[in-house]
Amino acid sequence: MLNRPLISEPQEQQRQPLSFPPSLLNYLYVGHFLARWGARMWEFSVGLYMINVWPDSLALAAAYGVVESASTALVGPVVGRLVDKFTYIKVLRLWLLSQNFSFMIAGGTVVALLLYEDVKSENFIVFLSFILLINISGAVGGLSTLAGTILVEREWVVVISEGQHPGVLTKMNATIRRIDLVCKLFAPVVSGFIISFVSLTASALTLAIWNILSVCLQYWLLMSVYNGIPALSESSQKRVYRSLPTDSERSSLTDESRNSHYLGDNDLEPLDHGWMRKVIERISRISYFSAWKVYLEQDVVLPGIALALLYFTVLSFGTLMTAALVWQGIPAYIIGIARGISATIGILATFLYPVLESQLSTLRTGLWSIWSQWTCLVVCVASIWVPNKLGAAYLLMGGVALSRLGLWMFDLAVIQQMQDQVPESDRCVVGGVQNSLQSVLDLTTYVMGIIISNPRDFWKLIILSLLVVTLAAVLYSIHIYRVRKHLFHLEKLYPLVRIVFR
């Protein structure tokens, strides 16, 4: 950031004290952990609930993914606009209340659906109503989680790090991502053991109770951070002033209203000629379209698109792959452990990223990360030709787990580029559109899951996923070449090649 002090010695940078009590950062991290834990429990379990309700088909699991992703894709830019418009306190309250209440309703509805197993055959209308309520509650919970992600990861982290030494932003980004991956590690393991050794009903009930009990603690922790760091309240006031119309905008509106009262019949003719221009101007003022316009004008649009393309994949421990593994006979607790191992590798990425970023730069760290992810995913494609079904499943899970190292380092690299290069006034908007674009690609994955709903044809989705990751890697490489005019230092690689051949 421009207002950070430039210090030549890295050790001296690390010794610089923070301008606020360090315990407030711990409050921020714990509050973020509590919010992410509930979301990760639901994210893992919903696929198992749906495959249990309707066995031998991925249709219900894919339909839920379509609803959740479509809602984020359509409403995501508007959420970004609202986060940018409202004060921090209002966004915080809306986020925590709607997220926890939505997951509580979703968990309670799943309990009712599992307790009354015959409802599908006895009263199909009630069954569909339960499914619809689960989908709507999950979608609202996903939108609330998006608002919290934009608030904490794209806004608060940047505001808190301003005025601190340069390493603070990188360290906070890595810690926030590490917390998310820790939740991704332990929440599925806990849910998997509850499902395998107690019951599906017990896991849904646990989810509902968690969201009831944790919301008050989350609010107290995050409000303590807001009240304890003056930069947050100052930034919140700036947002309020920025949303108010300026004197020139007020005068232009007044002039337009006056002129509208004095238009004669002859004056209407030139207005008719310019109707197309006015329609275009009005459309551009709509929050959704104006947000996309702001996003496409950014210098980091290609890295953002490359990151979003990585969401068009079944090569993750998401709903579709989880349902496919269950169909192949893999126990839920094994899937939970595999997902935990995957998250552990992702956590290692959050420790490795600051080291590589300090040595290679953010741009080059992203380049090496995305191509290392691609290399690991080739193993997943190779699992298609393994004759033993159990061996193929374990090879698939192993390739996905290893690819998380490159994936999360690439994610951190792109996020930091956006934080550094996107203007303050556009950060929330760009964050909302980025999450919307990611959801569009995620939605496309679930649409493909509905089209190719037979678990026996899951191999087709694996190949399609690798092709999309290849496209993402190529797009990011184009961005690197456009910025740096080269991809690799060939003169540095030549001595290494000579050593290898010797």
> Per-residue pLDDT for the chain (502 aa), expressed as one digit of tens each?
444 443 344 444 444 566 677 788 889 999 989 988 888 888 878 878 887 877 766 677 778 877 887 787 778 777 877 877 788 888 888 888 888 888 888 888 888 888 887 777 777 788 888 889 988 988 898 888 888 888 888 788 888 887 777 677 888 888 888 888 788 778 877 887 888 788 888 888 888 888 888 888 989 999 998 888 888 888 877 766 665 555 554 555 455 445 544 445 454 444 445 545 544 454 445 456 777 788 888 888 899 999 999 989 888 887 788 888 888 888 878 887 887 788 788 888 888 988 888 888 888 888 889 999 999 999 999 988 988 888 888 999 999 999 999 998 999 899 888 888 888 777 777 877 887 788 788 878 878 887 887 888 888 899 999 999 999 999 999 988 887 776 666 555 555 456 555 5
Cβ atoms within 10 Å, residue 17: 8
Contact 39, 141 (CB under 8 A): yes
Given this model, what pLDDT does residue 374 score?
94
Given this model, what pLDDT does residue 489 score?
60
Nearest to 315 by CA among 402, 419, 251, 203: 402
Residue 283, judged by CB atoms within 10 A of its CB (0-12, 13-18, 19+), counts as exposed
Given this model, what pLDDT does residue 152 score?
85
Per the listing, tokens 């919140």 go with 236
Residue 4: which residues within 8 A CB-CB, separation 6 or more? 162, 163, 164, 165, 166
Given this model, what pLDDT does residue 204 score?
85
Residue 261: which residues within 8 A CB-CB, separation 6 or more? none
Given this model, what pLDDT does residue 17 score?
63
Given this model, what pLDDT does residue 373 score?
92
Joined tokens for residue 83: 């986060």
Contact 465, 334 (CB under 8 A): no
Pairwise CA distance, residues 475 & 468, whole Å: 11
Joined tokens for residue 163: 């005025």
Joined tokens for residue 348: 């290692």
Joined tokens for residue 294: 């702001």
Nearest to 58 by CA among 396, 392, 310, 326: 326
Given this model, what pLDDT does residue 247 score?
53
Nearest to 218 by CA among 106, 359, 93: 93
Given this model, what pLDDT does residue 410 score?
93
Half-sphere exposure for 318 (CA within 13 Å, toward CB) = 19
Cβ atoms within 10 Å, residue 364: 18
What's the helix, strand, coil split of the chain in %, to 5?
85, 0, 15
Sign (positive/negative) of CA torsion 331, 332, 336, 342?
positive
